[in-house]
A and B are shown apart, each in its own frame.
Chain A
Amino acid sequence: MRLEIGYRETWLHRINPSLKLLVMLAIFIAVLFVHNPNVLANLAVALLLLFFICTGYPLKYLLLFFLPFLVIFVSTASSMTLFGEGKTTWFQWGLIHITEESFLRGMHLGFRALTFALLGLIFSLTTRPVYLFYSLMQQLKLKPKYAYSFLAGIRLIPIILEEFQTVQNALKVRGAAQVGIFEKIKRYAIPLLSQSIRRAQRIAVAMEAKRFSSGMARTFYYEISFSKYDIVFIFSMAGIIVLAYCVGTILPYVPVVDVR
């Protein structure tokens, strides 16, 4: 998505996109079953290092991308910290009831949100959508009619954004009255959706007129395959996880192994 920002291509960019997606999904599901805050904190820090060192973007952009995650961290951690159940009370004021258990659980949730966010951001910063869908077709046998629909859809995003601007300007020129949020969404959504539907319909007709079909064997403009970087990636991810687990259990920061 962020091709307009200059970046250096690193080994993370050269991994097979399907493999990268599957490995990251596997880590995602594994993290759902981690209840030890020490292990999770280590994992989050390791991914943070990977994010800052290996994605190949200038530091100021990385910091900019990272900013919303801090907000997510605080907002995810806060409601469990303030309202979670627990036994050892630290602070109580009206409905707010902070306990040791709820605080640790809140921190754990914060680190978990951070881990998921980093996995996603590392993926989207180092993967070109075009290669992703070509790889999904070639390695995971995604049907071409789905893959090309997504590719066409992604190509339409700039046009949709431009139309959004046009509607905004048109409303401004006509001096449209201030309205509530849902009325406002409707004002933008109706023209944007109807134009998008018409455009999608035209693309589909054009593709079928040019004999696009899923039936026969296809050749691909981009041939995506595996390389040595895929092995590097699998081993480094496995290394990070094993290291996070060992350090978290041998040298814990807090003497809690399960926050539930």
Chain B
Amino acid sequence: MQASKGLKLADILITVVISIVFGIVYKLWGPFYYFVKPFGLHIDQLVYGMWFIAATVAFLIIRKPGVALLAEIAASSGEFIAGSEWGLEVLIYGVVQGLLAEIVFAAFRYKRFDVLVVSLAAIGSTIGSLVMDFYKGYIEALAPWNLALFLLARFVGAVLISGVFASSLVKALEATGVTQMVRSASKEDYEQLNR
């Protein structure tokens, strides 16, 4: 087996399978999103952050470079293949969002896994989605108060869902012990052996 040269088959398979679970969530989140939309005043933007969660959860589980990007691409492909209402655009959004989350994790050299870094990654994904919206949705042409509300709702929603909620989800997963077999052995593990 090729050791430490990029992601191994097991890492990729696990990332993709996790992401496909989230892909189904992403698909189901669509109807929920436009169900809350008619309430107006961008309440829908508060739930937008769910579409960034695959990157953060997969990274927290596997903790390797490239996982966040792969996860977001895989989740958006899953959503796309399942016949998303947004069609092709989910793929492009997925790539951009995943890339921005990946950059945040890379900025911390893939060594920090706390709520703060994960929330920053969620903010990164949000910026990615906003860049796409700028080209696609002319969001800058909204009235200023409305645009401010829109941005605030999306950022807050992203941090709460893909930051705080994602870490609590992975904490609960850690309690099941399943993450132990996925992560590579840490420095502490080796020190335990040497004792």
Interface positions of A (Cβ within 8 A of B)? 1-2, 24-25, 28-29, 32, 65, 68-69, 71-72, 75-76, 79-80, 82-85, 95, 97, 102, 105, 109, 112-113, 116-121, 123-125, 129, 145-146, 149-150, 152-154, 156-157, 160-161, 182, 185-186, 189-190, 192-194, 196-201, 203-205, 207-208, 212-213, 215, 259-260
Task: Indicate whether A190 sits within 8 Å of B90 (C-beta atoms), given known contacts A71-B34, A212-B9.
Answer: no
Whether B141 pairs with A84 at a CB distance below 8 angstroms is yes
Residues from 81 to 121 in B contacting A, C-beta threshold 8 Å: 81-92
Q: How far is the CA of A84 from the CA of B51 in the complex (A)?
A: 25
Chain A residues contacting B17 (CB-CB under 8 Å) are: 149, 152-153, 156, 196-197, 199-200
Whether B83 pairs with A197 at a CB distance below 8 angstroms is no
Whether A260 pairs with B82 at a CB distance below 8 angstroms is no
* A142 CB, nearest partner CB in chain B, Å: 12
Whether A28 pairs with B92 at a CB distance below 8 angstroms is yes
* B133 CB, nearest partner CB in chain A, Å: 10
Whether A153 pairs with B178 at a CB distance below 8 angstroms is no
Q: How far is the CA of A120 from the CA of B168 in the complex (A)?
A: 34
Chain B residues contacting A97 (CB-CB under 8 Å) are: 143
Q: Is the interface of B mostly helix, strand, loop or mixed?
A: helix
Interface residue? B14 (CB, 8 A): yes
Interface residue? B193 (CB, 8 A): no
Chain A residues contacting B82 (CB-CB under 8 Å) are: 1, 124
A204 to chain B: closest residue by CB: B10
Chain B residues contacting A185 (CB-CB under 8 Å) are: 25
Whether B10 pairs with A201 at a CB distance below 8 angstroms is yes
5 new A-B pairs (CB below 8 Å) besides A24-B88, A153-B19?
A117-B87, A121-B87, A193-B57, A208-B9, A212-B9
Residues from 141 to 195 in B contacting A, C-beta threshold 8 Å: 141-143, 146, 165, 168-169, 172-173, 176, 178-179, 181-182
Chain A residues contacting B74 (CB-CB under 8 Å) are: 150, 153
* B35 CB, nearest partner CB in chain A, Å: 9
Whether A129 pairs with B169 at a CB distance below 8 angstroms is no
Whether B87 pairs with A120 at a CB distance below 8 angstroms is yes
Chain A residues contacting B142 (CB-CB under 8 Å) are: 79-80, 83-85
20 A-B residue contacts at CB 8 Å?
Answer: A25-B91, A72-B86, A80-B137, A80-B138, A83-B143, A84-B138, A84-B142, A85-B143, A97-B143, A113-B86, A125-B83, A145-B12, A154-B78, A160-B24, A189-B21, A197-B179, A201-B10, A203-B13, A207-B9, A212-B9
